[in-house]
């Protein structure tokens, strides 16, 4: 498999990174997780929200004081060319910007590298609602770091929480923020439904997910005849209020829109019509089986038909 490294498509195994790379020691690499999909109607592959991911990647790099040698357009094209040369019909893209060799916190004059790799993830064939438990770890304090940057070091917090939750028999952890309100899981944003209202933690102590942004956009722009306007609130949510919701779901590039079956043993409704509607909308957009009202969300990879492989089963 080829990856894009510092401007060129090269075999993944030929990439050499110094064991003294600054980002390896101090956790300052920034990265993104992007997905490309089989584009149902015209048989081409398509990257979802490519420009937004690359904008966020470059913003993260800037926050960490790294100057990318490549522009947004150059990186978008680099992602498209990496997917184009592969024979994968749908998978995961991992761009990383990191500092090269240099020991000591001073990072001036170190080389900035950019890598874009394709990752074959073990996607589950049947998409099952997940179980969460609250974590004893809290989400990073917004004054301890820049919470909007996707920095490798932040994920120590995520994987400690996820590891502990898995040991307790759950699929993932729900982390609270420093005020004790609900924040997010180790890798996804969270939403709740109670009666007609949909609510999600406001920005501040959470990572501003692009899938979260899609859900807010759907609620603001669609009026499904069954529900009328779907009101969405972004605000503080106590654990008590979360536990009293009818339904809960998580959102992220990898998990897409996924109902939560249980939180701390409390059962949620996994067939809530609002959750199912939002999940179907998201699947429809990424697969282009529902016309996308935001054309900039879809970047077509192939100029001609790509042979379609069997599709991931998308049912609960
Ligand atoms: N929160 C955290 C901590 C994450 O790592 C992710 C995944 N990037 C998300 C939320 C969801 O973000 P997105 O929808 O952009 O993938």
pLDDT value of position 38: 83
Task: Kindly give the distance from the C-alpha atom of residue 250 to the centroid of ligand 1, in angstroms, as a whole number.
Answer: 10
**18-32, 113-127, 168-182: least confident range:** 113-127
Residue 102 has pLDDT above 70, yes or no: yes
Find the 226 Cα to ligand 1 centroid distance in Å. 30
What distance lies between CA 81 and its chain's CA centroid?
Answer: 21
- From the CB of 172, is ligand 1 less than 6 Å away? no
Ligand 1 centroid vs 189 CA: distance in angstroms?
6
Confidence of residue 311 (pLDDT cuts 50, 70, 90): low
pLDDT, average across residues 77-94? 94
| Ligand 1 nearest atom to the CA of residue 186, by list position | 3
pTM over 0.85: yes
Tokens of 292: 């996308």
Distance in Å, CA 92 to ligand 1 centroid: 14
b/e code 84-100 from CB counts within 10 Å (16+ = b): eebebbbbbbebbbbbb
CA distance 301 to 316: 29
216 lines ligand 1 (CB under 6 A): no
Q: Tell me, in angstroms, the distance from the centre of ligand 1 to residue 225's CA.
A: 30
**Strand ranges (DSSP E) for the chain?**
2-5, 8-11, 30-31, 34-39, 44-48, 91-99, 112-119, 130-134, 172-176, 182-185, 189-194, 197-201, 232-235, 247-252, 256-263, 266-267, 298-300
Residue closest by Cα to atom 1 of ligand 1: 188
- Going from the Cα of 304 to the center of ligand 1, the distance in angstroms, rounded, reads 32
Q: Is 32 in the pocket of ligand 1 (CB under 6 A)?
A: no
pLDDT at position 316, please?
41
Cα 206 to ligand 1 centroid, rounded to whole Å: 9
Round to whole Å and give the CA distance between 307 and 304: 10
Least confident segment among 65-79, 95-109, 246-260, 295-309: 295-309
| CB-CB contact of 90 with 38 (8 Å) | yes
Q: How far apart are CA 306 and CA 45, in angstroms?
A: 7
Q: How far apart are CA 80 and CA 98, in angstroms?
A: 21
Q: Is residue 312 predicted with pLDDT exceeding 70?
A: no
Convert the pLDDT of each residue in 190-243 to its tens digit: 999 999 999 999 999 999 999 999 999 999 999 888 888 899 999 999 999 999
pLDDT above 50 for 93: yes
Tell me if 252 CB under 6 Å of ligand 1.
Answer: yes
What value does the mean pLDDT take over residues 109-124? 91
Helix ranges restricted to H, the chain: 22-26, 50-63, 72-84, 155-167, 210-221, 239-243, 273-287
Six-digit token string for 71: 């522009």
pLDDT tens by residue, 124-174: 666 899 999 999 999 999 999 999 999 999 999 999 999 999 999 999 999
| Beta bridge mates, 197 | 194
Decide: 187 in ligand 1 pocket, CB within 6 A.
yes
Give, using CA atoms, the residue closest to atom 12 of ligand 1: 209
């Amino acid at each position: 498999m080829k990856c894009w490294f510092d401007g060129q498509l090269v075999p993944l195994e030929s990439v050499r990174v110094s064991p003294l790379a600054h980002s390896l020691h101090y956790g300052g690499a920034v990265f993104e997780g992007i997905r490309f999909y089989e584009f149902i109607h015209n048989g081409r592959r398509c990257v979802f929200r490519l420009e937004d991911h690359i904008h966020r990647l470059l913003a993260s790099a800037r926050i960490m004081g790294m100057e990318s040698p490549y522009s947004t357009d150059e990186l978008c094209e680099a992602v498209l060319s990496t997917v184009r040369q592969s024979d994968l019909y749908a998978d995961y893209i991992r761009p990383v910007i990191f500092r090269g060799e240099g020991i000591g916190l001073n990072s001036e004059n170190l080389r900035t590298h950019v890598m874009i790799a394709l990752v074959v993830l073990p996607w589950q064939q049947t998409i099952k609602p997940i179980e969460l438990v609250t974590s004893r770890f809290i989400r990073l304090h917004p004054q301890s770091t820049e919470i909007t940057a996707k920095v490798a070091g932040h994920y120590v917090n995520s994987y400690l929480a996820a590891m502990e939750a898995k040991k307790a028999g759950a699929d993932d952890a729900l982390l609270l923020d420093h005020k004790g309100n609900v924040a997010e899981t180790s890798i996804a944003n969270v939403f709740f439904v109670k009666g007609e209202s949909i609510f999600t933690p406001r920005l501040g102590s959470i990572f501003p997910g692009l899938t979260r942004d899609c859900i807010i956009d759907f609620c603001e722009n669609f009026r499904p005849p069954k529900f009328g306007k779907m009101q969405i609130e972004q605000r503080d949510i106590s654990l008590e209020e979360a536990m009293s919701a009818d339904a809960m779901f998580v959102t992220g590039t990898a998990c897409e829109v996924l109902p939560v079956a249980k939180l701390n043993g409390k059962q949620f409704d996994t067939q809530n019509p609002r959750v199912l509607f939002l999940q179907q909308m998201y699947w429809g957009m990424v697969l282009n089986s529902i016309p996308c009202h935001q054309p900039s969300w879809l970047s077509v990879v192939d100029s001609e038909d790509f042979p379609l492989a069997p599709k991931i089963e998308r049912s609960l």
